[in-house]
Amino acid sequence: MARGIRDRVVILGMGCSKFGERWDAGPEELMVEAFDEALGDAGIEKSQIDAAWLGVFFQEQSTGKSGLPLSQALRLPNIPVTRVENLCATGTESLRGAVYAVAAGAADIALAMGVEKLKDTGFGGLPERTKGATEDLWLPNSTAPGSFAQLASAYSNVHKRDMNDLKRAMAHISVKSHRNGALNPKAHLQREISEDDVLNAPMVAYPLGLYDCCGVSDGAACAIVCTPEVAAKLGRRDAVAIKALQLAPSNGYELTNDGWDGSHTLTTRLAAERAYAEAGISDPKTELDVMEVHDCFSITELVLMEDLGVSEPGRAIDDVLDGRYDYDGAIPCQIDGGLKCFGHPIGASGLRMAYEIYLQLNGRADRRQLDAPSTGLAQNLGGVPNRNVASVAIYGLTDLKG
């Protein structure tokens, strides 16, 4: 029987570049920026890393298809480098590769890097890439805003919630994220907005307005992971451990079966159920201290609160408006500003989420630091509501003294 990875891998160090319109840097410079911070945080030499994983989505426009860009940019000592991609969960996929290698005993210390360079590719939004049968047959002319706008309409209909109430909750989410992002020097957008700004903004895809949508940016983030035993030998007395890391991709059910009502993300529910079981969490409403979720749109964050089991079905609107996920709420969410303020350099986002949880659990989040959190969750969603891959990772403090 599979044992899972609970407490078998800890984070030795993490780093994150400044996100934004980084006209001053290519993907190589972004990777070096994140890696230098992670290596210094880990307190090791580059020669001690046994293997590395590189996550990048738009390879032709960004870094290339192989692992060589990472090896060359960081001047790694000829160690194995594997390049991975899994839609918007690419950064988490990179981390999963490194974590599994350490948990399996194939590496003592491993590196996970996620990077994306999008702002000087010549595209106004995300670049086009070759489409396969799913896009051609099932999702022709589909756009991300349009797809998630349908999620909002379905949610309102299924739960019989007034659209104006839903839009107010979505506005609260955007205002909350901008308030948090204004405290984060690495965020792309660092200014507060008002509810009126959100509700009166130009419409993108009803009911999603401009401030309901995350932007496009450049960035990189990375993690260095090892076993608790290796961390202890390096002098660590405590560390952030990976309690669970679960992944659930769509299998076609949402596209081909009328059993899915369009109001939620099925894969997140499955990944969360597995992650809670692996981490030993019985009640996420009371056992999670901080969350980062894939808020590509404000409606996504709201729906994910129910998919992750921290809001009851149909009640996320009320919890959001009651401030449950605000900085001073029961479970602060997007405490760093989220995708809303960082933008979404696809290969980097999953690791950027992990970076914030890591800082919070270590008490190193500066002006946005919460009061002694000990357990955090990061959720990544790649794709659109009816065809996606979801990951749920749970992190917690662990004592290495024993």
Domains and CATH numbers, the chain: 10-119+218-233 (3.40.47.10), 142-208+238-397 (3.40.47.10)
Fill in the amino acid letter for 259: G
Look-up: residue for tokens 């960081």? Answer: 74
Q: Is the pLDDT of residue 291 over 80?
A: yes
How many Å apart are CA 162 and CA 169, to the nearest integer? Answer: 11
Q: Distance between the two ends of the chain, CA-based, in angstroms?
A: 27
Distances (CA, A) of 265 to 100, 180, 284, 358: 26, 26, 18, 26
Going through 197-302 in order, the beta strands assigned E by DSSP cover: 203-205, 208-209, 219-226, 238-249, 290-292
Q: What local confidence, expressed as pLDDT, does residue 345 receive?
A: 92
Q: 208-218: per-residue pLDDT in tens?
A: 999 999 999 99
Q: What is the mean pLDDT of residues 154-173?
A: 97
Q: What local confidence, expressed as pLDDT, does residue 62 receive?
A: 67
Higher pLDDT, 154 or 59: 154
How many Å apart are CA 126 and CA 392, to the nearest integer? Answer: 24
DSSP letter for 257, please. Answer: -
DSSP string, 27-82: HHHHHHHHHHHHHHHHT--GGG--EEEEE-SSTTTTT-SSSHHHHHHHT--S--EE
Q: What is the mean pLDDT of the chain?
A: 93
How many Å apart are CA 24 and CA 268, to the nearest integer? Answer: 36
Fill in the amino acid letter for 151: L
How many Å apart are CA 222 and CA 256, to the nearest integer? Answer: 37
Q: Which residues pair with 209 in a beta bridge?
A: 203
Q: What local confidence, expressed as pLDDT, does residue 189 receive?
A: 95
Q: 33-62: per-residue pLDDT in tens?
A: 999 999 999 999 999 999 999 999 876 666
Q: 296-325: per-residue pLDDT in tens?
A: 999 999 999 999 999 999 999 999 999 999
Look up residue 219 and give its two tokens: 């960035």
Catalytic residues: 88, 344
Q: What local confidence, expressed as pLDDT, does residue 3 receive?
A: 75
Q: Answer whether 324's CB lies under 8 Å from 334's CB.
A: no
Q: Is the pLDDT of residue 101 over 70?
A: yes
Residue 197 CB-density burial (10 A; 0-12 exposed, 13-18 middle, 19+ buried)? middle
Q: Is the pLDDT of residue 258 over 90?
A: no
- Of 280, 288, 379, 400, the closest CA to residue 12 belongs to 400
Q: 217-242: per-residue pLDDT in tens?
A: 999 999 999 999 999 999 998 999 99
DSSP letter for 26, please. Answer: -
Determine which of 38-42, 174-178, 249-253, 254-258 has the lowest per-residue pLDDT on average.
254-258
| pLDDT band at 106; cut points 50, 70, 90 | very high
pTM of the predicted protein model: 0.94
User: Helices marked H in 133-162 — which ranges?
Assistant: 133-138, 144-158
